[in-house]
Amino acid sequence: MFFHWLEKNPFYFASGISIVISFAGLLEIVPNFAEAARPLIDLKPRTVLQIAGKNVYMKDNCISCHSQMIRPFKSETDRYGDYSLSGEYVYDRPFLWGSKRTGPDLHRVGNYRTTEWHENHMWNPPAIVPGSIMPAYKHHFTNLADIETAYAEVVTVKTAFSTPYGPEFKGTRAAWNAYRPTVIEEAKLIVADMKNKDVKEAVARGEVPEVVALIAYLNSLK
C-alpha cells in the first residue's frame, strides 16, 4: 500500500505533506493577492498637475520624513484615518510608502488639511505647527513646476502600462499644447483658495509654481 510505504519513509512523507499544503496555500492566497492588487472601484489615475506635484514631492525628498502607508493598527487609524489598501497604489509609479515618520503619515492628508493650510505651512511650518522642525519651502512659491515632463510621464504610463488615461494624451507637441490649458484651469481652482498674490499672478499668466502642483498632489491623497 502506498500510504504504508509513506509512513515508513518519513522524508517522502514530510515532502508530500509540504507539497499538498503549499498547493492548497497557493490556491487560497494567490487569488486574494491578485484581487487586492486590483484598482479600487472609482479609482482614477492622477492628473498631470498632481503628478507634477508628486515630482516636486520626490525632488525635495519629502519621503525621507513622511510615509504614505497607514498600518491596520488602532493607534494609526485613530490618528491618520483608514488603513491603506494595496489597490489604492496601482497607478503610483514609484510607490511613496516611505519607512520613517519624522513627520506624520500623509496618505490621507487630503481628508483633513486644506489648500490654505498647506500654503501657510509650506511658507512657515513652525507658525502653523508649534515646535515643528520642518524647514520652510519658500522656493516652491517662485520655482515653476515641470508640467510638461508630467504630461510626458502620463503618455509613458498610458502606453507602457495601459493606465486608463484618455485619448488626449499623445506623444506629440501639438497634443501637449492642446492639453496645457486644462492644467492651468486645474491650477486656478487651487489658487482660488490661496492668498499669495505672486502665485495667483503666475497662474493667471499661465505658469504653475511648484507650491500649486504640490498642494494639488497633497489634496489628492485621500
Concatenating the DSSP letter of every residue in 125-155 gives: HHHHSTT--PPP-GGGGTSBP-HHHHHHHHH
CA neighbor of 39 nearest in space, from 82, 85, 95, 94: 85
Provide the CATH topology of domain 48-219: Cytochrome Bc1 Complex; Chain D, domain 2 (1.10.760)
Contact 50, 189 (CB under 8 A): no
Please state the pTM of the whole predicted model: 0.84
Contact 110, 96 (CB under 8 A): no
Contact 87, 179 (CB under 8 A): no
- pLDDT of 32 > 60? The answer is no
Instruction: Give tens-digit pLDDT for 73-125.
Output: 999 999 999 999 988 999 999 999 998 999 999 999 999 999 999 999 999 99
pLDDT value of position 122: 97
Q: Which residue has the higher pLDDT, 35 or 38?
A: 38
